[in-house]
Amino acid sequence: MAYALLIIGLLGTMAGMVFRYCTKWILARERLQFFAAEYERALRGNDKNYALAAGRSYFDVLRGGKRSKEDEEHIESDIALMVSEQIKTLQLPIKTSLN
């Protein structure tokens, strides 16, 4: 009888640990998806400072709070592309008719 209670206790403890691990993993995944979407939205906008903050937040979550130099370079290149893409969209195409 004592062994049965011990086994039930151990199984309950293991189930609790699995549940806690799974919920933490799911929350971390949802948090990463949120920051990735926010970073993409910021890159489509006009505010470079917001895009920088969103990019840093995204890479902080992605790397567990340890952003690398390469991450900073990636963010800067994304922001540079963001600005150049906006300049391209602001330029009006010139249509000429040859008729």
pLDDT value at position 89?
A: 52
What is d(CA 65, CA 55) in angstroms, rounded to the nearest whole number?
A: 13
Q: Are 59 and 67 in contact (CB under 8 A)?
A: yes
Q: What is the pLDDT of residues 61-95, one digit of tens each?
A: 888 888 889 999 999 999 988 766 655 554 444 44
What is d(CA 9, CA 85) in angstroms, rounded to the nearest whole number?
A: 60
Mean pLDDT of 5-21: 81
Mean pLDDT of 14-23: 80
pLDDT value at position 28?
A: 81
Residue ranges covered by each domain of the chain: 25-77
CB 39: neighbour CB atoms within 10 A?
Answer: 23
What is d(CA 46, CA 34) in angstroms, rounded to the nearest whole number?
A: 20
pLDDT value at position 15?
A: 79
Q: What is the pLDDT of residues 29-69, one digit of tens each?
A: 888 899 999 999 998 888 899 999 999 999 998 888 888 89
pTM here is 0.65
pLDDT value at position 76?
A: 92
CA 51, chain centre distance (Å): 12
pLDDT value at position 49?
A: 92
